[in-house]
Structure 1
Amino acid sequence: MPFNDERAVINGIHQSLADDQGLIEVVSGTTDAKRNVIWSIVKTVSRTEGAQYGLTLHLAYPESVLQVQAFANETGITGMRDAQIYELARKRGRVDEQGRGWTRDPYDDDYRRGILMNLSEDDQFDDAFPDHPLSVIRRLAGMLIGYN
Structure 2
Amino acid sequence: MMLDVNGKSTTNSQYILPDTFYYNNQHQEFRNQIIRNSFSGIYEYKFDSTSSLKVMADGGTDHKTTNSIFHTEALASDSALVNQNDRTTSTTGDKHTVNSNLLWRKKLPKKGRTISLNVRENYSGKQIGRLSELRYPSL
Tell me whether the two structures share a fold, i.e. TM-score over 0.5: no
Structure 1 or 2: more helix by fraction = 1
TM-score between the two structures when normalised by the length of structure 1: 0.29
Larger Rg: 2
The structure carrying a bigger strand percent of its residues is: 2
| TM-score using structure 2 length | 0.31
